[in-house]
Amino acid sequence: MTNSTAADETSPTTHALWFGIALADVIVFVGLCLTVVLIYLAQRRVERSKSFEIKYHGIYIIITALILFFAPFELRSSLFSPFAVMVVGSVYPIYESIYAVCTLDEGDDTLWLQYWVAQGTLSFSTEWIDDLEPSDWQQRWFEFEFFFMLWLSLPWTNGAALLQEYVTTPLIEPTLRPLIAKMDSWISKFIMMAVNATHLWFLWAAFEFLPASWKRMVWIGIGVVFPIGSSMVAIVSPGGLDDTFWLTYWATFGILFLLVDLLEDFIGFIPGYYTVAIFITVYLMVPRFKGADKIFRSVLVPLAGLEEMLIRKDAELVKHEVMRGIPEERRDTVLKEIAESYLAGSQKGGYSSIAVV
């Protein structure tokens, strides 16, 4: 019997009940809720750190060390579980990414794109650890993931921006940029070949004979490697359209990843399960299809209740595009005429008959 198992069996916290519920489960639930609330309030009300401020990182390290060294094992194994890592590292950032795309500010698009570059590199590429036999080493990994995700996203530490500034931009992006341009060309050629080539059926048949773990690895590689590189390039490129495109992709792929992971135990045995996942991923990824944008606007934005915010952003973008073709001395007059036209239509009830599609 391992020490962790023995501690779990003899710990009073594990067996203590609170209104018929294990006290450890209550503490875990409350702790996870408080963590999500903390991140939410921090994102909305705390200005993000613009540089490396050692006091914030020092405080964060001390708090993390106190929790990891003094919290009972059973609480750590429950609180820092794969589910908790998923909520803090994926579910909440997906919502924040949707919110960022719906705002006019391009800065928050870049911010969360920086997050997905770091989080995606670590989390998506190491998710196989979840399938290992439970061990103290595995538990320590979950704890590292949990606090690393917090470090990336909290405004005081702003770890994603620091990694981008000190690692990605100076060390990785210069080498990666020409490779991403080549990969973009290869992907376009592959899609054209896929439309016309019948021999892809043989590739599909060979893929279906692979073990499930290999299929999953191939799918994750397709969904992660090229988007991470493209996101790195987008962050340092001028303009915000490419940032928005790839942030939209990460939000939709994050949802797809969670759904595939959730349904795998129920329908993963069906032939073609990961083939479908690959086709959906390519549909989301390739700009020609605009799949991520379509799913984002028709599914994710309504679920998040952000339709009006996205409409206002689209209206502002249209306004800026229209104003670019109007002489500067005429812009105020044109804007006033457009505003009066909209107001007149609203007062006459002219918009109530417009069909919503």
Domain annotation covers residue 105: yes
What is the C-alpha to C-alpha distance for residues 323 and 329, in angstroms, rounded to an integer? 11
pLDDT of residue 165: 87
Beta carbons within 10 angstroms of residue 229's beta carbon: 19
- Per-residue pLDDT averaged across 211-215, rounded? 86
- Per-residue pLDDT averaged across 160-181, rounded? 81
pLDDT of residue 267: 92
Domain annotation covers residue 123: yes
pLDDT of residue 154: 87
Domain annotation covers residue 313: no
The count of domains in the chain is: 1
pLDDT of residue 340: 77
Average pLDDT, the chain: 80
Domain enclosing residue 205, as ranges: 3-307
What is the C-alpha to C-alpha distance for residues 88 and 31, in angstroms, rounded to an integer? 12
CA nearest neighbour of 236 among 52, 113, 93: 113
Q: How many Cα neighbours within 13 Å face the side chain of 5?
A: 4
Domain annotation covers residue 338: no
Domain annotation covers residue 263: yes
Domain annotation covers residue 269: yes
Q: What is the pLDDT of residues 296-347, one digit of tens each?
A: 999 999 999 999 999 999 988 887 887 777 888 887 887 787 777 777 655 5
In this predicted structure, the answer to whether residue 227 has a pLDDT above a threshold of 80 is: yes
In this predicted structure, the answer to whether residue 196 has a pLDDT above a threshold of 50 is: no
pTM higher than 0.85: no
Q: What is the pLDDT of residues 66-123, one digit of tens each?
A: 989 988 887 788 788 888 888 888 888 999 899 999 998 888 898 899 999 999 888 7
CA nearest neighbour of 113 among 219, 254, 283, 248: 248
Q: What is the pLDDT of residues 139-168, one digit of tens each?
A: 899 999 999 999 998 888 999 989 888 888
Express as a percent the part of the chain with pLDDT over 90.
27
Domain annotation covers residue 355: no
Domain annotation covers residue 323: no
- Per-residue pLDDT averaged across 284-295, rounded? 92
| pLDDT band, residue 348 (cuts 50/70/90) | low
